[in-house]
A and B are shown apart, each in its own frame.
Chain A
Amino acid sequence: DTGVSQNPRHKITKRGQNVTFRCDPISEHNRLYWYRQTLGQGPEFLTYFQNEAQLEKSRLLSDRFSAERPKGSFSTLEIQRTEQGDSAMYLCASSPPGQGALSGANVLTFGAGSRLTVL
């Protein structure tokens, strides 16, 4: 178990460019989440996958954002035509299958994040 891995850790780009972030969850975890965290704020939910199915998307996820998890393992988050307001830390988290109050599915394990700076 190597934890949740995110790449790249830092990305600096010019406004208007496209960027892609990758998340590798813990291998036995079937649920994967993307969050965005801006300075001085708590993480905000972006989207959620169960296996390869994208089950929920936040209104924060504009049409410039797209997330995929094609084989139910790793996931990518792409931002097209980046804007300065997209500058943030993008966090990925995963959780195992299960239901109920005592399930491990209630605990999200987070990666170290990918920091995006848009100039």
Chain B
Amino acid sequence: AQSVTQLGSHVSVSEGALVLLRCNYSSSVPPYLFWYVQYPNQGLQLLLKYTTGATLVKGINGFEAEFKKSETSFHLTKPSAHMSDAAEYFCAVRYTGTASKLTFGTGTRLQVTL
């Protein structure tokens, strides 16, 4: 079955430290890949996406992600965490032949401490 896995339901980093949120997908054909962020009591906001072209994708708020086909991964990174980055992050994939339907991972809650 096609799926997306986010390793680590909770990640805690210090302010200013590197943020690394992991995402792996299962598919023999590379899907389209997305990261969304969800703040409390709000909907999901698109951070970045990979559909084609350069495998290193830059998004909003200083986040970036790299598509690695050999590792079937699309990990999200940010060089320096800020308190405002505390939120839930979801990796999502769109597999070919599924219209625009997204399949989401279970999410990673990012905590940023002083």
A interface residues (Cβ-Cβ under 8 A, vs B): 4, 31, 33, 40-45, 48, 50, 55-56, 91, 93, 95, 101-102, 105-113
- Verify A107–B105 contact, CB threshold 8 A: no
Residues of A within 8 A of B105 (CB): 42
- Verify A55–B106 contact, CB threshold 8 A: no
B interface residues (Cβ-Cβ under 8 A, vs A): 9, 32, 34, 36, 41-46, 49, 51-53, 90, 92, 94, 99-107
Jot down 15 A-B pairs with beta carbons below 8 A, ordered by A.
A31-B99, A40-B9, A42-B105, A42-B106, A43-B44, A43-B104, A45-B102, A55-B99, A56-B99, A56-B101, A93-B44, A101-B32, A101-B53, A113-B42, A113-B43
Residues of A within 8 A of B42 (CB): 112-113
- Verify B107–A106 contact, CB threshold 8 A: no
How far apart are A92's CB and chain B's nearest CB, in angstroms? 9
